[in-house]
Amino acid sequence: MPIPDMPADPALRLAFLASLVVCACVAAVLGAVLWNFLTARRDAERRERRSPVETGSMLLFTAGFYLLIRRDIGELPFPAYPLHLAAVALGLLLLTAGTAVNLLGRLALGRNWANQVTIYAEQTLVTAGVYGLVRHPLYASLIWMFVGAAVVYLNWAALLAALLVFTPMMIYRARQEEAALAERFPEYAEYQRRVGRLLPKRRS
């Protein structure tokens, strides 16, 4: 399959290069999600609570988010090139940072991961690495990625969807998990006090 030619217009060239980075980040996270499913525990003793916020509903949101951008729904006109470059750089920074945190979080979580709200009999409480930054790095990083993509494509509808639809979804799921973890681990309350849910806490 031939590689498309680089656009001559600076704004279009910037959008083209940004799209390559976006695609690489999305592919990396989707590959990591597939790895989670392939390596998930199946026969372990567990307590599971069904949640409407799981991989399926997250993928459904992703499809809607993609359509907003693909159909140019809510797209803003390109600003002057220096401002456009700054916006794309900011968006890509959020996107790539989110991707890195998501992948590191999945590695740290290991086989504690589950699609539903699950506590395994041999569950461990992970608080190191990116889990020392935020309590829910997988959910936080996905929010950062969606916000970053909306900024890259200068799309206000996609930004509102990320903030007003996806973020409440992540908060709802995080609260469900926190209730289960607090019941299983007495030390979880101290962890909650020290570490922010989706954003790092300011150190006193």
Which domains are delineated in the chain? 10-39+51-194 (1.20.120.1630)
pTM: 0.92
Q: Which of the four pLDDT bands, split at 50, 70 and 90, describes residue 6?
A: low
- For range 67-83, the mean pLDDT: 89
pLDDT band of residue 8 (cuts 50, 70, 90) is low
% pLDDT > 90, the chain: 80
Report residue 10's pLDDT band, with 50, 70 and 90 as the boundaries: low
Residue 13, pLDDT score: 78
d(CA 96, CA 107): 17
- Tens-place pLDDT, residues 26-41: 999 999 999 999 998 8
pLDDT for res 79: 78
137's CB contacts (< 8 A; 6+ apart) are: 101, 102, 104, 105, 108, 130, 131
What is the rounded CA–CA span in Å between residue 6 and residue 20?
12
In whole angstroms, what is the distance from residue 19 CA to residue 24 CA? Answer: 9
Residue 4 has pLDDT above 80, yes or no: no
pLDDT at 165 over 90: yes
Specify the pLDDT at position 116.
95
Tens-place pLDDT, residues 81-115: 788 889 999 999 999 999 999 999 999 999 999 99
Residue 53 carries which side chain, given as an amino acid letter?
Answer: V
pLDDT at position 1 is 38
**Mean pLDDT for the chain?**
92
Q: Is the pLDDT of residue 43 over 80?
A: no
b or e along 168-182 (b: 16 or more beta carbons within 10 Å of the residue's beta carbon)? ebbbebbebbbebbe
Q: How many residues in the chain?
A: 204
CA atoms of 8 and 4, how far apart (whole Å): 12
